[in-house]
Chains A and B, each alone.
Chain A
Amino acid sequence: MTLMQSIGYPLLNIVFIMLVAILWAAILTWVERRMLGFWQERWGPNRVGPSGVAQVIADIIKLLTKEDFTPNYGDRVVFIIAPASLVVAVVMSFGILPIARDIGISPDLNIGILFFLAMSSLTVYSAVLGGWASNNKYSLLGGLRGASQMLAYEVFMGLALMGIVMITGTFNLAKIVEAQDNMWFALPQFFGFVVFMIAGLAETRRLPYDLPEGEQELVAGYHTEYSSMKFGMYFLGEYLGVILISALITALYFGGWHGPLLPGWLWFMLKTIFFMLFFILLRAALPRPRYDQLTAFGWKAMLPLALLNFLATGIIVLVVLPHGGT
Chain B
Amino acid sequence: MAKALSKFLKTEPFSTMRTIFNVFTFLFKPKVTVEYPEERTPLPPRWRGRIILSRDPDGAERCVACYLCAVACPVDCISLQKTEDETGRWYPEFFRINFSRCIYCGYCEEACPTHAIQLTPDFEMSEYDRNNMVYEKEDLLIDGTGKYHDYNFWRVAGKAIGGKSKGEAENERPPVDVRTLLP
B11 to chain A, nearest CB (A): 14
Chain A count of residues within 8 A CB distance of the other chain: 12
Q: Which of B20, B29, B30, B33 contacts A285 (CB 8 A)?
A: B20
Q: A38-B26, A39-B24, A281-B24 are contacts. A286–B31 as well, Cβ < 8 Å?
A: no
Cβ-based interface call for B131 (8 A):
no
For residue B86, give the distance in angstroms from its CB to the closest CB of chain A.
Answer: 57
Question: Is the CB–CB distance between B23 and A43 below 8 Å?
Answer: no
Q: B35 at the A/B interface (Cβ < 8 Å)? A: yes
With an 8 A cutoff between CB atoms, is A51 at the interface?
A: no
In Å, the complex CA distance between A37 and B29 comes to: 12
Asked if B32 CB lies within 8 Å of chain A CBs, one says yes
A41, CB-defined interface residue at 8 Å: yes
Taking A281-B20, A286-B16 as contacts, is the C-beta distance between A39 and B31 under 8 angstroms?
no
**For residue A38, which residue of chain B has the nearest CB?**
B27
Select which of B23, B30, B32 is within 8 A of A284 by beta carbon: B23
A13 part of interface (Cβ distance < 8 Å): no
Residues of B within 8 A of A42 (CB): 31-33
| Chain A interface SS verdict (over half) | helix
Task: Tell me whether A78 is interfacial, beta carbon within 8 Å.
Answer: no
Q: Which residues of A contact B22 (CB under 8 A)?
A: 285
A41 and B31 contacting across the interface, CB-CB below 8 Å: yes
Say if the beta carbon of B171 comes within 8 Å of chain A.
no
Q: Is A40 an interface residue (CB 8 A)?
A: yes
Whole-angstrom distance between the Cβ of B31 and the nearest chain A Cβ? 5
B18's nearest neighbour on chain A, judged by CB, is A285
CB distance from A283 to the nearest CB of B (A): 10
Distance of B61 from chain A, by nearest CB (Å): 44
**How far is the CB of A275 from the nearest CB of chain B, in Å?**
14
In the complex the two chains form, what is the Cα distance from A39 to B29 in whole Å? 9
Q: Which residue from chain A places its CB closest to the CB of B29 in the assembled complex?
A: A41
Residue A119 is within 8 A (CB to CB) of chain B in the complex: no
In the complex, which residues 30-57 of chain A have their Cβ closer than 8 Å to any Cβ of chain B? 37-43
Q: Is the CB of B26 within 8 A of A39?
A: yes
Q: State whether the Cβ of B180 lies closer than 8 Å to any Cβ in chain A.
A: no
Residues in B neighbouring A282, C-beta threshold 8 A: 20
The answer on a CB contact under 8 Å between A43 and B29 is no
Q: Please, could you name 20 A-B residue pairs with CB atoms under 8 Å apart, sorted by A? A: A38-B26, A38-B31, A39-B26, A39-B27, A40-B26, A41-B29, A41-B30, A41-B31, A41-B32, A42-B31, A42-B32, A43-B33, A43-B35, A281-B20, A281-B23, A282-B20, A284-B23, A285-B20, A285-B22, A286-B16
Interface residues of B (CB under 8 A from A): 16, 19-20, 22-24, 26-27, 29-33, 35
